[in-house]
Structure 1
Amino acid sequence: MSTFLIILMVLAMLATVAALVRGIIVFLKTTEADLTGNGPNLSGERQNKMMRMRIAFQALAVILVIFFLLLTRN
């Protein structure tokens, strides 16, 4: 059981890093037209989506670590 949790934790952590890197790449691709245009900013929406994904993956990783620590408390 603990090996399975460790694998899940590593996957959640890798997903967190992947979402962070994708968010940074989207941020770096932001153009001045994205910043000065009228209406919804597509680049900003993508950045927000990546931020929400990163937070969700990070929360999952923390929950898995807590669960792992509770199981191995002996």
Structure 2
Amino acid sequence: MNTVFVIVLLAAMVMVVVSLVRGVVAFLKSTKVDLESGQQVDATEMQLKQNKAMMARVKWQAVAIVVLAIMMAVAN
């Protein structure tokens, strides 16, 4: 049973990193577009993508924390 939790935890950790990288890439692209275009009034498509990726990162971090809490509860 513990092996299943470790596998799920590792998968969640990988998804955290993937979401973080996607968010940073979207941030860099949106910053480049903002610098080239000048003033930006509304959120651009890349900024919305960045926000979505960062929210996904937070969700995966929550999953990882829940898995760790379950593992600690089962261990006792």
**TM-score bucket (shorter structure):** 0.7 to 0.9
Name the Cα RMSD after superposition: 1.4
TM-score, normalization: structure 1? 0.88
User: What is the total number of aligned residue pairs between the two structures?
Assistant: 72
Structure 2 unaligned spans of 5+ = none
Are 1:61 and 2:64 matched, yes or no? Answer: yes
Higher helix share: 2
Instruction: Render the CA deviation track for 1:2-58: whole Å, top value 9, x for unaligned.
Output: 00000000000110011001100111111123x734444211101110011000000
* Structure 1, 61-70 or 40-49: larger mean CA deviation: 40-49
Sequence identity percentage: 29
Structure 1 unaligned spans of 5+ = none
